[in-house]
Amino acid sequence: MEFKIELNERKSQPVLFIRTRTAVENLPKVIGESYGKIMQYLSELVEPPADAPYTAYYNLDMKDLDVEMGFPVAKLFSEKGDIKSGEIPQGKYVSAIYKGAYSQMEQPYNEMFKWIEENGYEQKGVYYEFYFNSSNDVPESELLTKIAIPVK
């Protein structure tokens, strides 16, 4: 499968997020619960998300993932419990849109890692996935995910 890999400059993006550690098999439950809590808080604030929800991976240890689940928002908001306020940092990002099952995402990641190396960039160690739909709404083969990797 071919992926259109792009390099672009992103502005910083305010977000509300929950950061935790979990094993990969618990990830769908953790993501669902986190998104639910953040959406509840956004409805209390009477604020819609500014963009698609995301998960940021600070490592790729499948037994002990360090992950952040969140929503881009229009501006910084107060924190509430385990919901934190922050931002996705500005900078250069290598990104690609992947269509298909989450379990098959190793291939686009590997192609992106190869592109980064071949083009003289270095990864900054965080991997962002933005989810444009969910398996509750479409078949796995139709899932759309934007992978974004900050580089220097």
| 35-88: pLDDT as tens digits | 999 999 999 999 999 999 999 999 989 999 999 999 999 999 999 999 999 999
Domain ranges of the chain: 6-151
**AA letter at 151:** V
Q: How many residues does the chain have?
A: 152
H or E segment at 65? strand 65-72
Q: Which of 148, 48, 143, 133 is nearest to 89 (CA)?
A: 148
Is the pTM here over 0.85, yes or no? yes
**AA letter at 115:** W
User: Hey, what CATH class is 6-151 in?
Assistant: alpha beta
pLDDT average, residue stretch 4-23: 97
Q: Which of 112, 21, 17, 114 is nearest to 60 (CA)?
A: 21
Band (136; pLDDT cuts 50, 70, 90): confident
Query: From CA 12, how far away is CA 124, in angstroms rounded?
Result: 15
**AA letter at 105:** M
